[in-house]
Chains A and B, each alone.
Chain A
């Protein structure tokens, strides 16, 4: 019953998204829906337009064509203030962590709280809570340059969840990490999903990550959603293009 209700109102709706860079047509009519509480994995090889798609989604890039609705709001109709307000509902984990080099871990985490009118005690409590969720309380006063790759990813994850977002977008969360750290990050993503109940959009080409975390997945090939379904449905496909991902 709950699942059916969720299916009626997608929290993110993308329709016929197109984006080209000169003659390079990256997205050729990509469409997707993300429902409340689900983990949607979008898989595609490097350069297939996954990152371009999420940049269009959060307004970092303008699509050439298509509609994007987040929580029933068409982002192309929002002014800058409204878009910024909407962005506070979205946590974003960048591929390279994107921690601010000149700030400590504490300052990095406090940065998204600047607009939220939280007093310093409340802000500190949220920072500690987010760091506790990723198991990195001891790193609070360290600079990003003092952290390992896995620690950076975890701090970036803590920064993404600090405002209790309704949607978390992960851009290649396990890329560049060793297999053990990658597994830790995947486990952490699952724990966070359980704790925060946010909807997750995960962009990856890591099959293991998709297998563990996806409720549903979309294969992005040639700029369109080439295949859609559960991990089992897609991985058992006989299509050569699809099979290439799972070999």
Chain B
């Protein structure tokens, strides 16, 4: 009888983790608006997160546009709708595929990196050393990283989208004799603010999730070097899931308003 009401350990752990993550997020907002502001570290993190992800995001975006156009071309040709490629590709990439794919690339690149970096700082007592030197390590390490990912991921997505469209234009230029000017003319005609704004807004949430989960896992890392690997790994798994959940909510909300 009692067993019927017992909650399995895994579910209990899951809810405890959600609670701790929410508390961590709450602490982020509390510390975000309190002085002193760590501008230098924020800029350093923005540079590190943004600049070092450029190549990966660029290559991913380019291949994404290239492949998407090559794959959809034959089907559209069957219906005589090749001229719709610029509008179809641009709307798909800007609204959905670009933000999600680039965010997932950033999850692998940034969230795991933050998890591993903060995790190793935790197990080697560097975070404790910061604390005893009178610096608030949460503010210095966590707030700056979450803020940097929240600001940089949208920029990386915009860049990735642009490069993906360039890749698509290249295919159209080579296979369909469509000039770049004509291609982008059609792209800008097809895109509306209702495509751009929700897609951009949700990338801020993607960036926030990437920084939050990576920092949470790393900052609370335990169990020595094994824990560092675990922190990095679980940061990727949790953030990937969170990206899809945020995307679902964003699409749902957008559908109501537009």
Interface residues of A (CB under 8 A from B): 55, 58-60, 80, 84-85, 87-88, 90, 92, 94-96, 98-101, 111-112, 114-115, 159
Contacts and interface: CB of A to CB of B under 8 A. Distances in A.
B57 to A, nearest CB: 23
B118 to A, nearest CB: 11
A101 B129 contact: no
A96 B130 CA distance: 14
A115 B125 contact: no
Contacts of B124: 96, 98, 101
A92 B132 contact: yes
B121 interface: yes
Given A99-B126, A100-B126, A101-B126, A87 B132 contact: yes
Contacts of B129: 92, 94, 98-100
Interface in B100-134: 120-121, 124-126, 128-134
Given A84-B134, A112-B134, A60 B128 contact: yes
Given A84-B134, A85-B134, A92-B129, 9 more contacts: A60-B131, A87-B131, A88-B133, A95-B125, A98-B125, A98-B129, A99-B126, A100-B121, A112-B135
23 contacts: A59-B131, A84-B135, A84-B136, A87-B131, A88-B134, A92-B129, A92-B132, A92-B133, A94-B125, A94-B128, A95-B125, A98-B125, A98-B126, A98-B128, A99-B129, A100-B121, A100-B129, A100-B130, A101-B121, A112-B133, A112-B135, A115-B134, A115-B135
What 4 A-B pairs come out closest when comparing CB atoms? A98-B129, A112-B133, A84-B134, A98-B125
A100 B133 CA distance: 12
Contacts of B128: 55, 60, 94, 98
B142 to A, nearest CB: 15
Nearest to B38: A114
B257 to A, nearest CB: 42
A101 B130 CA distance: 12
B227 to A, nearest CB: 15
Contacts of B135: 84, 111-112, 114-115
B138 to A, nearest CB: 11
A96 B125 CA distance: 8
Nearest to A90: B132
Interface residues of B, number: 14
Contacts of B136: 80, 84
Contacts of A59: 131
B105 to A, nearest CB: 23
Query: Which of B130, B132, B136 lies at the interface centre, i.e. has the most chain A CB atoms within 10 A of its CB?
Result: B132
A55 B129 CA distance: 11
Nearest to B131: A60
Contacts of B131: 59-60, 87
Contact of A87 (B120, B121, B134): B134
A212 B133 CA distance: 28
A92 B129 CA distance: 8
Contacts of A111: 130, 133, 135
Contacts of B130: 100, 111
A60 B132 contact: yes
A94 B122 CA distance: 13
Contacts of A85: 134
A80 B136 CA distance: 9
Contacts of A96: 124-125
Interface string B122-158: 0011101111111110000000000000000000000
B148 to A, nearest CB: 14
Nearest to A92: B132
A58 B135 CA distance: 13
A58 B132 contact: yes
Contacts of A101: 120-121, 124, 126
A96 B121 CA distance: 11
Contacts of A60: 128, 131-132
A216 to B, nearest CB: 24
A71 B136 CA distance: 22
B42 to A, nearest CB: 15
